[in-house]
Structure formats: C-alpha cells, structure tokens
C-alpha cells in the first residue's frame, strides 16, 4: 500500500512536470551541411525524423529560405558557407516552427528539394539543391515554393528582419554591391585523370599534378585578396576542354586562367610564357603547343567537343573583339608581374588556337609555367615555395587587371 501511494505520487509529479513544460519539438535537426557542386550548391539537413518544410527565395538581399515545422534546431553549430551561400541564420517562427535563412552571394534558384528516408546507416535527410542562375531567372522564381507541407500557410514574410535572429558564418562578410562587386576568377588546372599532360624526364613529374597544385595555391592567394575563385577541377579527374569553358561560363567568370607546364625535346629549353587566343598562331612553336594541349580531348576519346573545323572557326570569330582585348590586357599585366619573379621565354605573350580559351564571353589566358623537360624547372615546379612565388605574381597581375580603368568600369 505504501509503495502504491509512493508510485502514484511519482506519476502525478511526472504528469505535472510534463504539462508545465513547453511541448518538445518533434523533429531534431542534428546537423546542416553545405557542399559545392559544379553548377551550384547542395544543402543537407540531418534529422531524426521526417519534417514538413517549405523552401523559397526572397530578394534584397538575395536569400533562400527553408521553413521547418515543429523542429528543434538549437544544437546546430556548423559554419554554413559555400560558393552560393555567404551566410546562414536561424530564427524562431511561431511555436516550434523554425526558419533557416541562407544569404546568397550570387543569383541562384532552387533546382530540387526532397526528403530521403533513413538508409545505409543515415537518418532522415532533407536535401536542397541550389543552382546558379541569371538575375532574371532568380527574379522569376521569387516567392515560388518547393515544399512538402501540411497545407499550412507559409506566406513569405519579412519578419526575420526584426529581432530574435542569430547568425552563423563569418562576420567579416562584405556586402557585395554592384559598383564594387567581388570578381570571379575561374582557374583551370590543365589535364587530369587519364590525361597526364607533359611528363618530366627527370623526376617523372606529371603536368596534371603540377597544374592542380598550382591551381590550389593560386586559389588560396586570390581568396585571401577577396576574389571569388573556382577551380574547373580540384582532384585528379579528366574534364574535356569544352566542359572547362562551360564551367567558366556557368560561374560567370570575369577571368579564366588555364594552367599548364610544357615539355620540349631540347632539355635546355626554359621559361614561362603566356598565351591568348588567336586564329593564327604567333609562330610555329606556339601552333605546335596549341596542338599538343588540344590533344587532351582526343585522349579523352572525343574530338574538340564534337565540333567540325568550320564550327570551331565560327566560334573563334564569334569571340568578341572586346573579350580578346581584355584577354590581351590581362596577359600584358601577367607578363609584367611574372618578369619580376621568374625567367620568361622571349616574346612571352604569344597567340595560338587553344581550344580551352575559346569562350566568346570570358577573357581567358593560358599560362605555361615552365618546362618539365628541364631539370631545374621541373624541380622548381615541384616545390610549393616556387608555386607560391608564381601565384603571388599572377595575383598581382589580376589586381592590376581589375583595377585597370577600362576593366573596373564594367
């Protein structure tokens, strides 16, 4: 009897406590992950169960918003930032409903949003794919929603502007204005995967590894200066030349720089050179080099993007004079700055029909960093300090290029 009374009291106490506490949210968001994709970004929420959600876009500033019903999100501590999302904040809505606001560093739209039930050891996941878009595509999609909801009215509100919001991500994030927007540089580490490029004769150095190491080095240096930088590849994979151009166009690159290292029969040949596109090569050597570099696509089992020579010629002629002038301007700065750091070949700025430079709308330059067939240059290119020296020179040239009055004005 005594035991029974005791138990009854305990049960009463538990009931009292439970009713006096606010109801706990039904879905726990355990983690949020942001990853880059070639055409945009993927956002993944890890959850203990399914959730009713809605995703939509807002403007001024550009945001992608995820509304989540009845959710506990308080333990999230990830740094939410990628090539599309500059900052993430989380806010409370009514009851246990939450809102995740992702500020966008560029125009993007929602490509897909979907739930994945638990599988292969993972719990519930909500996946949202953002795809980079034009300004007008973004504007057309504002207010459109992608959702799995409970017929709840989630009309977008501006209430996150009022208090109660807390913010993740870097506070030093600069606002991007039209007059002083961040410039986008796409770096293209030449070759990759089944295409090793030139091979050093002394240390069996592969061009594809040197170009990738240089790409990463230069990316770091440019990011530290505030540029938005993308690599056409960040690992050892084969990418056709046309695809590399497309990547630059998709990222709306302000400047494209393809990185290479050459080799020659003459093992004494040394020096760095800079190439821009031309339908007529500046000399036989340049023509032969362009032919070697363009072979990457033949190694890949396809010809130049499936284009006939005629189509390629048309593409070249379409390449606006303006783009070529800009490419030449950057090439000039690049030669100047490189000259302060390393040995150059004679007539350092050369012209040839490189397939990878044929985007009609993106100023593009191809840098041959030196000769892997020369003992000294091969050894140099294998060291990080040498690559850092090249990267710093290239970054100075990029600064000068974007500060050039003609370039800075548009």
Q: Which residues bind Zn ion (CB under 5 A)?
A: 190, 197, 260, 293
Cβ at position 190, least distance to Zn ion in Å: 4
CB of 25 closer than 8 Å to CB of 64:
no
Closer to Zn ion at the Cβ: 40 or 370? 370
Closer to Zn ion at the Cβ: 130 or 356? 356
Closer to Zn ion at the Cβ: 51 or 352? 352
Cβ at position 210, least distance to Zn ion in Å: 9
CB of 65 closer than 8 Å to CB of 58:
yes
Sign of CA dihedral 299, 186, 273, 406: positive
From the number of C-beta atoms within 10 Å of its C-beta (0-12, 13-18, 19+), residue 54 rates as buried
Closer to Zn ion at the Cβ: 91 or 189? 189
Q: Which two tokens stand for residue 362?
A: 């993106």
Closer to Zn ion at the Cβ: 174 or 291? 291
Cβ at position 198, least distance to Zn ion in Å: 6
Question: Nearest to Zn ion by Cβ — which residue?
Answer: 260
Cβ at position 241, least distance to Zn ion in Å: 11
- According to DSSP, residue 374 is labeled S
Give me the DSSP letters along 244-300. Answer: HHHHHHHTT-SEEEEEEEE--SSTT---EEEEEE-SS-SSHHHHHHHHHHHTHHHHT
Closer to Zn ion at the Cβ: 197 or 240? 197
CB of 84 closer than 8 Å to CB of 32:
no
Cβ at position 59, least distance to Zn ion in Å: 43
Cβ at position 258, least distance to Zn ion in Å: 8
Q: Give the integer Cα–Cα distance in Å for 138 and 107.
A: 6
């Amino acid at each position: 009897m005594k035991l029974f009374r005791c138990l009854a009291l305990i049960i009463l106490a538990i009931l009292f406590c439970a009713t006096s506490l606010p109801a706990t949210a039904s879905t726990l968001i355990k983690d949020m992950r942001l990853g880059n994709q070639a055409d945009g970004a993927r956002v993944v929420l890890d959850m203990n169960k399914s959730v009713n959600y809605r995703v939509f876009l807002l403007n001024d500033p550009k945001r992608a918003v995820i509304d989540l019903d009845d959710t506990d999100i308080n333990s999230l501590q990830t740094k939410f930032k990628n090539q599309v999302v500059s900052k993430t904040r989380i806010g409370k809505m009514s009851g246990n409903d939450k809102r995740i606001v992702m500020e966008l560093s560029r125009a993007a739209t929602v490509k897909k949003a979907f739930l994945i039930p638990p599988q292969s050891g993972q719990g519930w996941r909500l996946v949202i794919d953002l795809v980079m878009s034009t300004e007008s595509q973004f504007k057309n999609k504002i207010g459109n929603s992608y959702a799995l909801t409970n017929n709840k009215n989630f009309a977008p509100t501006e209430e996150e502007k009022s208090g109660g919001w807390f913010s993740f991500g870097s506070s030093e994030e600069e606002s991007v204005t039209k007059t002083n927007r961040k410039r986008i540089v796409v770096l293209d580490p030449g070759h990759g995967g089944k295409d090793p490029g030139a091979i050093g004769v002394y240390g069996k150095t592969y061009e594809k590894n040197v170009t990738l190491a240089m790409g990463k080095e230069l990316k770091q240096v440019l990011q530290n200066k505030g540029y938005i930088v993308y690599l056409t590849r960040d690992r050892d994979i084969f990418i056709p030349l046309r695809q590399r151009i497309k990547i630059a166009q998709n990222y709306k690159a302000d400047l494209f720089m393809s990185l290479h290292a050459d080799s020659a029969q003459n093992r004494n040949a040394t020096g760095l050179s800079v190439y821009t596109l031309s339908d007529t090569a500046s000399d036989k050597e340049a023509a032969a080099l362009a032919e070697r570099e363009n072979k990457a696509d033949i190694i890949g089992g396809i010809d130049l993007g499936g284009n006939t020579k005629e189509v390629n010629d048309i593409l070249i002629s379409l390449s606006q004079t303006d783009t070529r002038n800009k490419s030449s301007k950057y090439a000039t700065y690049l030669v100047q700055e490189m000259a302060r750091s390393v040995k150059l070949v004679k007539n350092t700025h050369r012209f040839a029909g490189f397939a990878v430079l044929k985007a009609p709308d993106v100023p593009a330059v191809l840098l041959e960093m030196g000769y892997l067939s020369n003992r000294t240059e091969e050894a140099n290119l294998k060291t990080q300090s040498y690559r850092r020296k090249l990267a710093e020179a290239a970054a100075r040239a990029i600064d000068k290029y974007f500060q050039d009055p003609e370039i800075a004005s548009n």
